[in-house]
Amino acid sequence: MKNGDILLVKDKLFDLYITQKQPCRVVAKKFKISISTVTRWLKRYNIKTRTISQANTGNPKVSHKKESNGNYKDGRSFRKHYCKDCQIQISRFAKRCKACANIKSQKKRLKNRRSYKGVNCPNYKHGETLKQHFCIECNAIITYGAWYYGTKLCKSCSHRGKRNHKYIHGNGNRPYPLIFSFKLKTQIRFRDKFVCQHCDSHACHVHHIDYNKNNCSPANLITLCNLCNIKANCNIDYWYAYYTYLMEKIYASG
C-alpha cells in the first residue's frame, strides 16, 4: 500500500467513524473487510474508539440512558433515594433501609398483639383463663380446661389410686408369695408349651386369672406373651371371664 493510499484510507476511516459516527460494522461493509480489521486500523492510526455507551447514544433500540431510552420518563431512576428514618441511601424501590423496616414491623406486631389482648380479644369470655388454677389435692398449677371441664386435678393425681384405669384392688404393689416360684412357673409354661393362650405366639409370662397373687393353683395360672399380659391389666372383668373360659376348655379337653 502506498503512502497516499494510507492517508486516503485514514481520512475515509476518520470521516466515517468519527465525523459521521458510523459503527465498525458499517465501515467494514463499505471497505469489504472484517470488523476486527477495522478496529486494528483504528489502533494503527491512533483514532480513539468509542465506548459501548457512546456508540449506543441516539439509538433507542439499544441505548438505556436518559432521553435516548424509549422508556425514559423524568430521570427518576437516576435520583438518589434516602431512608425516611435514618437518611441512609437506599434503592429507588424501597422507602426504608432494612434495619428501620425491621424495627417498624416489630412495633406494628407488638401493637397488634396489645390490641387483641384482654377485652379486645374476639375470644374473650370472662377473664377466667388468665387466672391461675390449682389442683385440689396437691396444689400444683393446672390448666383452665382441667379446672372448668375436668376433674380439677393435676395429671398425677387424676391417675392415682382408684382413678387409674389399671386399678385392681389396691394390692398391686404387694410382693408375690413364696409358692409362686420359678419351678411352678416353669411347670405352667411346659403345660402350655411356651405358647401364648391368646395369640399363639411364643410366651414366657405367667398370669393370675383372678388377679389374686395368693391364688397360685394351676387352674388360676395361664401363659401369655408380653403384649397380652399388658392388655390383661385393662378391662379386668372381660379378661377374667375370657381366660376362665379358656382354662375350663383346657381342663375339659385334658
Per mean pLDDT, which range of 4-18, 86-100, 139-153, 222-236 is the poorest?
4-18
DSSP assignment of 194-230, as one string? Answer: TB-TTT-SB--EEEETTS-TT---GGGEEEE-HHHHH
Per mean pLDDT, which range of 65-74, 76-85, 189-198 is the poorest?
65-74
Over the stretch 117-146, which tens digit does the pLDDT of each residue have? 777 776 777 766 678 889 999 999 988 888
Mean pLDDT over 184-201 rounds to: 92
Over the stretch 223-237, which tens digit does the pLDDT of each residue have? 999 999 988 888 888
Mean pLDDT over 210-225 rounds to: 91
pLDDT value of residue 57: 63
Mean pLDDT of the chain: 81
Above pLDDT 90, what percent of the chain? Answer: 22
Q: Which range has the top average pLDDT, 29-38, 74-83, 169-178?
A: 29-38
Mean pLDDT over 28-53 rounds to: 84
Mean pLDDT over 50-66 rounds to: 61
pLDDT value of residue 194: 92
